[in-house]
Chains A and B, each alone.
Chain A
Amino acid sequence: MNRFAELLDRLAYEPGRNNKIRLLVGYFRETADPDRGYALAALTGALSFKHAKPGLIRDLIAERTDPVLFGYSYDYVGDLSETVALMWPKSSSAHHSESFLGHPSPHPSPARGEGAQSLCSPHNDVEGIDVSERRTTGQAPSPLRGRVGERGIAGEIAVRFYSRTTTRLPQHWPTSSPHCARSARLSCRRSLRAGWTSSTRPGAGRC
């Protein structure tokens, strides 16, 4: 995810539209699945982080840092999530090259892919994919196994809600929600504009 964070930074600082597109093309070309899939979902608004509320983030950082130092830091940086991200204690070993939540992701599979869940009920959460929820459905290896104490903030939030969410999980991952359809369309449009060939385009042949 560090590469994705780098992309977001570059996009935020780059004023030119064509240059932004070049950055996106570069990212999607060199990043492997499933990370670029998560990235695409994040960029098209298909990911929701409904549990990552300021109150929770404050609680998490309060458990880990001196309140006075946090106060000075927040005062200087001016943005809560940025302050927390910068202050977050370093893990004892580096997982920089690893995938989302610091754990290897499952290989893409037709059972999990776009359109696999055709029986998606209309009342499903249209906010889209929440990673912590998805992980608990049992379709994918749990990212929460082991390595306690080395989690990043995303992992920590996932852990916080692990037990709470299991009881009220939607039975189907809402892959055919309007949002997903929209992101698939967007990805098609963007890849065509960017001149991908059908073989290098992410999700080629599926949309």
Chain B
Amino acid sequence: MVGMRPQDILIPVPAGLCCKPGGFHIDPVRPVERALITHGHSDHARAGHGAVLATQETLDMMRLRYGENFAGSVQAVAYGEEIRLGDVTVSFHPAGHVLGSAQISVTCKDRRIVASGDYKDARDPTCAPFELVPCDVFITEATFGLPVFRHGDAAGEANKLLASVKLFPERAHLVGAYSLGKAQRVIALLREAGYDAPIYLHGAMEKITYYYQERGIALGELRPVRGMKKAELAGTITLAPPSATSDVWTRRFPDPVTAFASGWMRVRARARQGGIELPLVISDHADWDGLTATIAATGAGEIWVTHGQEDALVHWCKSKGLAARPLDLVGYGDEDEGETAATTGEAQPAGETKKP
């Protein structure tokens, strides 16, 4: 095993990132025998694997989404705990993306590769902060891998929303937000900004948001929006999955202001495309400055860039003298868009036609 190349440890295959010496895949998009899952978003955490190794929160979220039998067997791992798998040692480290999200470090001999999954270095009151793991090869996402994406201060965006609620007290404010992670972060930011009125939830948000509360994340008073009278929703804030904000479902709200919390809202054309009136630049992914700062800080000499704007980030790495290449992994959605398929199923309980 002397002189092992990084691609002998981890290699992209159609099912996802495969570790042959360890006998497992990371975030596989097809059912595999052994899977290590970075976080609970549906494009990374899929049902049907033989065995799943992930943080307790990620396993719980998969259970909430897919039911008890989402995998043959499961094993929970704590942050920092080292586990021997075949010829390699793996450990999970906070990625700061959503509750329970992890970067996965794979060490073989003295060579360490970190698969960061999705991550952000910005502050988030709903999950453990990103931990820098020095490594030889760093696998980074590139969702916002263009220098136009700079997310700025999320607290300022929450204040923007509150200012709008104050200016339009007779209208309802409808905030589109990814139901796992983003929605809870927006709620927590609103609470930090001093907003203490009840916040309303679309049906698809309920389970996962209540789970966050169970895990000790303070989100204040939350109410289901289901069953509320139109007039009662004036001056309130409701969180809904992005797909619902352009749906007939919005007709139950009085003259709603449609907001959308996403890093994509930085670009006007993206906001207009979605018919958004109040774009809020709040993202659970690192922005350009975050990506480049993190890459430099890992000390890695080789960078593999996956899902997103690979070309620009690869170019940046090369201009800094780092070996870099895009990883051709398919099946991962970008922020908010991977959500669509998952929410249509989950949104059912919120429908008017629901039987008791």
A interface residue numbers (CB < 8 A to B)? 6, 9-10, 12-16, 19, 22-23, 26, 65-66, 68-69, 72-73, 76-79, 82-83, 86-87, 90
Least CB distance, A10 to chain B, in whole angstroms: 7
Contact flag A73-B160 (CB < 8 Å), given A65-B147, A79-B268: no
**Residues in chain A near residue B312, CB distance under 8 A:** 68-69, 72-73
Task: Give me the 5 closest cross-chain CB pairs, A-B, nearest first.
Answer: A86-B148, A72-B312, A73-B148, A13-B277, A87-B147
**Residues in chain B near residue A90, CB distance under 8 A:** 150
Q: Once the chains bind, are B272 and A82 in contact (CB under 8 Å)?
A: no
Q: Once the chains bind, are B167 and A22 in contact (CB under 8 Å)?
A: yes
Contact flag A83-B167 (CB < 8 Å), given A68-B315, A69-B312: no
Segment 245-270 of B: residues with Cβ below 8 Å from A: 255, 266-269
Q: Which of B148, B279, B309 contacts A83 (CB 8 A)?
A: B148
Is B353 an interface residue when CB atoms closer than 8 A count as contact? no
Contact flag A12-B268 (CB < 8 Å), given A22-B168, A65-B147, A77-B148: yes
What is the count of residue pairs linking A and B with beta-carbon distances less than 8 angstroms?
63
Segment 142-158 of B: residues with Cβ below 8 Å from A: 146-150
Contact flag A23-B146 (CB < 8 Å), given A68-B315, A69-B316: no
B interface residue numbers (CB < 8 A to A)? 146-150, 160, 164, 167-168, 255, 266-269, 271-272, 276-279, 309, 311-312, 315-316, 319
**In whole angstroms, what is the CA distance A9 to B276 when docked?**
11
**In whole angstroms, what is the CA distance A78 to B146 when docked?**
13
**In whole angstroms, what is the CA distance A82 to B149 when docked?**
12
**In whole angstroms, what is the CA distance A179 to B16 when docked?**
63
Q: Once the chains bind, are B150 and A66 in contact (CB under 8 Å)?
A: no
Least CB distance, B175 to chain A, in whole angstroms: 14
Q: Once the chains bind, are B276 and A13 in contact (CB under 8 Å)?
A: yes
**In whole angstroms, what is the CA distance A87 to B315 when docked?**
16
**Residues in chain B near residue A77, CB distance under 8 A:** 148, 267, 269
**Residues in chain A near residue B149, CB distance under 8 A:** 86
**Residues in chain A near residue B272, CB distance under 8 A:** 13
Q: Once the chains bind, are A82 and B268 in contact (CB under 8 Å)?
A: yes
Task: Given contact pairs A13-B278, A19-B168, A69-B312, enumerate 14 new A-B contacts (beta carbons under 8 Å).
Answer: A10-B164, A13-B276, A14-B277, A23-B167, A66-B316, A68-B312, A72-B315, A76-B146, A76-B267, A79-B268, A86-B149, A86-B150, A86-B267, A87-B147
**In whole angstroms, what is the CA distance A86 to B146 when docked?**
10
Which chain B residue lies CB-closest to A12?
Answer: B268
Contact flag A10-B278 (CB < 8 Å), given A26-B167, A72-B311: yes
19 contacts between A and B (CB under 8 A): A65-B147, A66-B319, A68-B312, A68-B315, A69-B147, A69-B315, A72-B309, A72-B315, A73-B146, A73-B148, A73-B312, A76-B146, A76-B267, A77-B269, A79-B269, A82-B267, A82-B268, A86-B149, A87-B147
Q: Which of B146, B147, B279, B309 contacts A13 (CB 8 A)?
A: B279
**Residues in chain B near residue A66, CB distance under 8 A:** 315-316, 319
Least CB distance, A95 to chain B, in whole angstroms: 15
**In whole angstroms, what is the CA distance A86 to B265 when docked?**
12
**In whole angstroms, what is the CA distance A117 to B67 when docked?**
76
Least CB distance, B234 to chain A, in whole angstroms: 14
**In whole angstroms, what is the CA distance A66 to B146 when docked?**
12
Which chain B residue lies CB-closest to A70?
Answer: B147
Q: Once the chains bind, are A87 and B148 in contact (CB under 8 Å)?
A: yes
Which chain B residue lies CB-closest to A68?
Answer: B315
Q: Which of A15, A23, A86 contacts B266 (CB 8 A)?
A: A86
**Residues in chain A near residue B160, CB distance under 8 A:** 6
Q: Which of B167, B268, B277 contacts A15 (CB 8 A)?
A: B277
Among B149, B160, B267, B276, residue most surrounded by chain A Cβ atoms (within 10 Å): B267
